[in-house]
Structure 1
């Protein structure tokens, strides 16, 4: 299954060749695995981490897997866990790590939850040609994160924003106490102790207010050319959000609109701070893509709430596919009218809670208007989701499968076979479910090799999707279903990937033969701009 482990006569692993995609998975309590890896990437990650958080051990453990063991237990999912200081130290280390990887031409294309237990986020990276030609910045990223039930922290926050952020949070939510420390040339750490317990899964008016607070912070950052880069869930709690600060004097913030969709209870969809054209569009998209329709629409504490028929966020079987079709159609329909997914975010420590999805629209974007009573138009989409411990589900739209959809399904099927993963295929109406060998999405003890082999497969799958003009638009947590034992609760389903067809985003470099890639990776910065002109612009 996956890549075979091969060792040299001295017991070491064969040095892997250069890579264009890789992932990092965080493992409870103290390990990170890079899958696949090359010597450049593993060295970058180890050196960067060790500057801020002690690395105890690092080495290859499979032909395509590099293990890093760090001090403490920063990725522990236990309620006992490690100290706040250790966890915060690891988040600071990731501010530097992501900056270094970006500087070396890597872009974060997705952060996903791909295991039921004992795993935090899996972060997928893709090599970019144009970014390598840029001058290095080496400024650590800004991080917005939470602590406990009531603290909101900003790491590496520029000093000019301390007052603005504090005033914003106080106005929308309320602050009990604030503290600023660890001042450096890159900013400071701002810790705000909020009123109440906002990360405990608040309901009613407060559930809307906390989402409005997140939106307001994002808008403030965007107005100062501070751009969302990645989210990481270190210990299956709330997400930490990382931002890149653009300090170039010639950079002016592009005005953007933002709103968010919130998936609530088992059957609610709430729309927060959306403009009127979105509110007119959404009912038609829901009616087209959800067979049980809309039961009720109401104003809910200054948001628009749709109570949907049946239970899209707690369902299985064919309805599970319908739920994926619903969220994918919303993403694709909004994309048609100029709205892109900025991020999906988990802001609650309660296991039943799901993603909020933040959309953005550049104000100079050409907008396609849709008639309120007409059939809603969508860009082509594909959904790949991970169900239970051993199933991958596929559906596509809008409408019936096209030759493009069939080609993508065949690509997934072929790669599963080539990786010796495919055990059984089942058609569910016009959807497909593949049962794979082993339990790669369980995350339990004894399944580590299966999990790592699956990550290798998924990295290659992302590369294949991109080569064929499909862009991963969102990785969404849309299910409330969970299992409960005497010791723990854990989600039944992992994330749902939504791909949109965007041929202009193909990574043509990925189709090059290995000698060309080696030649490219060996270039100095001065030669990269000349070399990159040989490839299509991205």
Structure 2
């Protein structure tokens, strides 16, 4: 006996995928200029809108795209060059920060599209906060500021805000490392020193130049570690491993490696995001 076919999926506002107690949602970086919230709870939309406006700037339009909430940004963040390459990485960090603050931790970033201009899709899982874990603003300001609330289905979504600290390390051209962070100068200086220590111990050619690049701290290396051949390809990977180890010793763990740009000649390197380990995330 043939069973009746399942009805097609609804393309109204999409809720998170839920297999009790697991909850998964996604954010897709699409084309040159779009961010799609797929299955993200409604309370996150205004928070992510604020992050986009703060880290990137103007939103050209918002719309429902097959049940997802789509932001079309002004400019081309996912094909950014020069100053926009730094701003786009701030935007990426802002999205990850906003999600993590509400308890949605990144599970994986992956390229699931053959479309030439699409970037990675980010998969997030919601985690309940450990007992007693709230951000400073939560503990000081009460539930009105400690939670992001909105109606989803028949219930009220409430997110206790977590303590989150993260920053981005971008790899550019064949020889540049950029540290992109909103940290206070003393902390930023410490991050730069951590990377320079890794270079000194693992990349024998050393540093050629250092400069402020559009608000990021850029280190230009001697040689071409990101287009290395022969023995140098080994040394480059040892340097990267040392960077990860050094930051781990400082309390920061590699949280994400995400492709968000085209780079020169359409050869792009992924950007790394480091997140401080604490009671909310390890």
Describe how 1:354-503 pairs up with structure 2 within 5 A. Answer: 354-363=119-128, 368-370=146-148, 379-397=164-182, 400-418=183-201, 419-420=203-204, 421-442=206-227, 447-481=229-263, 483=265, 491-503=266-278
Distance 1:440 1:364 in 2: 40
| Compared CA separation, residues 437 and 171, structure 1 to 2 (3 A) | farther
User: How many residues are treated as equivalent by the alignment?
Assistant: 249
Of 47, 67, 72, which aligns to 1:302?
Answer: 67
Q: Deviations over 1:300-359 (max 9, x none)?
A: 111111111211111111211110001011111221111100100111234432100011
CA contact (8 A) 1:425 1:432 kept: yes
Q: Deviations over 1:183-209 (max 9, x none)?
A: xxxxxxxxxxxxxxxxxxxxxx9xxxx
| Cα shift at 1:423 | 1.7
Describe how 1:77-226 pairs up with structure 2 within 5 A. Answer: 223=19
CA contact (8 A) 2:28 2:120 kept: yes
| Compared CA separation, residues 378 and 429, structure 1 to 2 (3 A) | farther
CA contact (8 A) 1:335 1:379 kept: yes
Aligned residue number for residue 92 of structure 2: 327
SS in 1 for 2:108: strand
| Cα shift at 1:171 | 6.3
Distance 1:296 1:392 in 2: 33
| Compared CA separation, residues 407 and 505, structure 1 to 2 (3 A) | farther
Q: Deviations over 1:161-188 (max 9, x none)?
A: xxxxxx99x966xxxxxxxxxxxxxxxx
CA contact (8 A) 1:352 1:482 kept: no
| Cα shift at 1:362 | 2.4
Give the TM-score taking structure 2 as reference length: 0.78
Distance 2:88 2:177 in 1: 15
| Compared CA separation, residues 442 and 333, structure 1 to 2 (3 A) | same
CA contact (8 A) 2:43 2:149 kept: no
More moved, 359-368 vs 338-347: 359-368
The Cα RMSD (Å) is 3.1
CA contact (8 A) 1:256 1:363 kept: no
| Cα shift at 1:379 | 2.4
Distance 2:280 2:251 in 1: 6
| Compared CA separation, residues 329 and 378, structure 1 to 2 (3 A) | farther
| Cα shift at 1:364 | 6.4
CA contact (8 A) 1:255 1:362 kept: no
| Compared CA separation, residues 503 and 448, structure 1 to 2 (3 A) | farther
CA contact (8 A) 1:381 1:501 kept: yes
Distance 1:441 1:505 in 2: 34
| Compared CA separation, residues 473 and 297, structure 1 to 2 (3 A) | same
CA contact (8 A) 1:282 1:330 kept: yes
| Compared CA separation, residues 378 and 262, structure 1 to 2 (3 A) | farther
Distance 1:503 1:466 in 2: 12
| Cα shift at 1:474 | 0.9
| Cα shift at 1:402 | 4.2
SS in 2 for 1:341: strand
Distance 1:423 1:455 in 2: 19
Distance 2:226 2:116 in 1: 17
Give the TM-score taking structure 1 as reference length: 0.42
| Cα shift at 1:472 | 1.4
Aligned residue number for residue 39 of structure 2: 273
Distance 1:388 1:406 in 2: 23
SS in 2 for 1:352: coil
CA contact (8 A) 2:178 2:219 kept: yes
Aligned residue number for residue 261 of structure 1: 27
Of 107, 121, 145, which aligns to 1:342?
Answer: 107
Distance 2:250 2:117 in 1: 35
Distance 2:185 2:88 in 1: 21
